[in-house]
Chains A and B, each alone.
Chain A
């Protein structure tokens, strides 16, 4: 109602009213068109999220509706159990954060670099069988992650293909998926910095957030490393496709101009291709960070969090807390903490990777506008 009176004041002519009518009808049609999508989002996304947020503040034990009278609000107790109260819940949550941190640090850079390399390779115009390679590299992304996980379980058994390959070079491969030793621990041991069997007391006895410093700096376990290898292999193809799209967007003239300027292959890649791909790189890293922090399938299928909890991740822990231990509040709280972590990291990385030229231009524009306004005031 109010829309009509505010936009259509008295004394407006005939023509504008008809235009408004058309506009209104278009608006109604527009809303009609997006209603199914909105309903879908509402029912399957927004309402469950709001419900989960509610559950994370209650002691709901998983029986009946979380909105019934028996369920009571417990404030931030579930969050406190994960963050401030010493106990098993915090210990497990911190272990899962540590594992996933090493996992993200390992997977995201590697999958981005590998994807970019693959894209550059299959983008070459004179490569024979280009379509074959494109399909081959993309193939792992299309296969279900559960199927791939099972294949990797076989590859990485103690007598599997990987260890037989290592044996050719005289390396006695580990029992991958049941080896909880951390990589940093192992490397330090190998370099003679410390001994894994008798860790330095200063590190082993200082506790920070339910874990000793020694445990915090374990690095990814051998088992987690095997999972990382699998994930890099599967996701590189997906991201290769994105880089490929970006590369095909790069006008040949620009590259030719660089050639005329005497740039060699590496210089062209470094100064023409990579800057051109900046938005794609931002996209790939963002999707990579989000995807890796949420990792679940591999842990569910292959390790169930083991060995010795070294493949526990927040997403998997949230699932076990809710479905296995009936601690639905804590499970939901973990999900929201994970969301916060991802949100902060993604924002941070958007800020770090922002287009500095563009930001500078915008700043300059704003400064000019301000100056102009000030001039207007003084005039």
Chain B
């Protein structure tokens, strides 16, 4: 053996050893999703990863977890993610993820399918108290995995100055598509569009729900976009965009509907309860009111956005994590969160308390009854992203072609 080859062998062995040690760290249980909770004895250290909207939210969560930690004798470390999807992926890949995470409904399907989440919803006694549509958003393969933290819905915001200037009164608040079209037309002036809509399916989807349709079949087995319900709903919006009554936010040079609304480029917009904070911070002089979205041909409809308290399948202290979740989802605690950073409680029993405290939010709360959650089937992000990119230029989009393409892609993704 020559010297060189001996050194080569040595380095090979060395790197092999490193490789083994680098990969050996990721030991994890094979199933996890159905088993009894892993319960570490004695005081445990729980790690929590959250995607915070700001200091108010971070502090409120920290306060709540500290209170639980003190009373239960455990410790909880709250980490604020700077890039939630990326940090979630890193955590689950490492085999040593945070015990409790904010899990967005749109990401949930993938992680449930992957086996990264621990299904604990059956251990929550009054699970039925959470809105049914929210529980569905966290159901994969017939099993609810986690309980919703809170939720938001879309409603219609109206700039009251523009409204009175156009000679409209409270009686004119639109309750049907025809009325929405009519008031939008009246509100449209040279410098202001009647209705500004954020780009993408997270706003357009509301019209589809109002028309009794959805992007996917009910059991999420295949695409259902190329159906009359979906096509008619989008046609309605597109016709009005072409006529100039509605404008998409990118036509108004705005990042989202709220920006167009706040800068008075549109007299109305369709946004969720987060618009309250945005208006207070960025457009404090704006006078507006929120009403429920108008009914479509098939009745009321809106979109819901929600996150749940996800517990990791790889957590060593699932029992304690579930206890913490129970403490964080009491009516009392949900109301505290609502007061601190403006989210809506996911419990129906908290709805009355909430509307009493925030009467102006009644239209948002009402959406809890008839809203539709996001597409949460695993493997759909790429398909949804493709759809969104094709709907960017909504006025000029070739809808039949786009919807047919979506169905083809969705079927391929769901058939996997």
Contacts and interface: CB of A to CB of B under 8 A. Distances in A.
Interface in B353-396: 379, 381-383, 385-386, 389-390, 392-393, 396
A63 B393 contact: no
B14 A175 contact: no
A158 B92 CA distance: 41
Interface string B53-68: 0000000000000000
B409 A88 contact: yes
**Residue from B114, B381, B382, B412 whose CB has the most chain A CB atoms within 10 Å:** B382
Given A157-B253, A175-B253, A322-B89, A2 B1 contact: yes
A42 B26 contact: no
A70 B30 contact: yes
Contacts of B86: 323-324
Given A38-B11, A306-B389, A62 B93 contact: yes
B390 A89 contact: no
Contacts of B253: 157-159, 175, 178
B110 interface: yes
A6 B5 CA distance: 14
B393 A180 contact: yes
B95 A65 contact: yes
Nearest to B381: A325
Given A157-B253, A308-B390, A326 B2 contact: no
Given A43-B18, A92-B386, A306-B389, A326 B89 contact: yes
A43 B409 contact: no
A62 B89 contact: yes
Given A42-B18, A158-B253, A62 B92 contact: yes
A13 interface: no
A341 B30 CA distance: 38
Contacts of B165: none
A41 to B, nearest CB: 10
A68 interface: yes
B15 A88 contact: no
A87 interface: yes
Contacts of A68: 26, 28
B342 interface: no
Contact of A42 (B1, B14, B93, B381): B14
Interface string A29-57: 00100000010001100110011000000
A3 B4 CA distance: 10
B22 A47 contact: yes
Contact of B114 (A38, A63, A91, A320): A63
Contact of A63 (B6, B93, B250): B93
Contacts of A91: 386
Contacts of A321: 382
Contacts of A309: 386, 389
A3 B381 contact: no
B392 A307 contact: yes
Given A62-B93, A70-B30, A88 B250 contact: no
B400 interface: no
A6 B409 CA distance: 65
B65 to A, nearest CB: 26
Contacts of A27: 3
A326 B26 CA distance: 18
A42 B392 contact: no
Interface in A286-338: 305-309, 320-327
A308 B22 contact: no
Contacts of B385: 320
A214 to B, nearest CB: 14
Contact of A324 (B85, B314, B383): B85
Nearest to B3: A3
Interface string A81-120: 0000001110110000000000000000000000000000
Contacts of B89: 62, 322-324, 326
Interface in B63-109: 85-86, 89-90, 92-93, 95
A132 B19 CA distance: 50
A353 B114 CA distance: 50
Nearest to A157: B253
Interface residues of B, number: 47
A89 B386 CA distance: 10
A61 interface: yes
Interface string B344-356: 0000000000000
Contacts of A170: none
A1 B385 CA distance: 62
Contacts of B36: none
A92 B3 contact: no
Nearest to A317: B382
B392 A46 contact: no
A64 interface: yes
A67 interface: yes
Contacts of B93: 62-64
A64 B389 contact: no
Interface in B1-42: 1-3, 6-7, 11, 14-15, 18-19, 22-28, 30
A91 B24 CA distance: 37
Contacts of A43: 18, 22
A249 B109 CA distance: 61
Nearest to B95: A64
Contacts of A51: 19, 22-23
Nearest to B22: A47
Given A3-B3, A42-B18, A178-B250, A87 B409 contact: yes
B114 A324 contact: no
Contacts of A307: 250, 389, 392
Interface string A13-31: 0000000000000010001
Contacts of B28: 63-65, 68
B208 to A, nearest CB: 21
B87 to A, nearest CB: 9
Nearest to A307: B392
5 shortest A-B CB distances, which residue pairs? A65-B26, A64-B28, A2-B1, A158-B253, A323-B86
Interface of B: 1-3, 6-7, 11, 14-15, 18-19, 22-28, 30, 85-86, 89-90, 92-93, 95, 110, 113-116, 250, 253, 314, 379, 381-383, 385-386, 389-390, 392-393, 396, 409, 412-413
Given A42-B18, A322-B89, 15 more contacts: A3-B2, A6-B2, A47-B18, A65-B26, A67-B26, A68-B26, A68-B28, A88-B382, A88-B383, A89-B382, A92-B386, A175-B250, A180-B393, A306-B389, A308-B389
Interface of A: 1-3, 6, 27, 31, 38, 42-43, 46-47, 50-51, 61-68, 70, 87-89, 91-92, 157-159, 175, 178, 180, 197, 305-309, 320-327
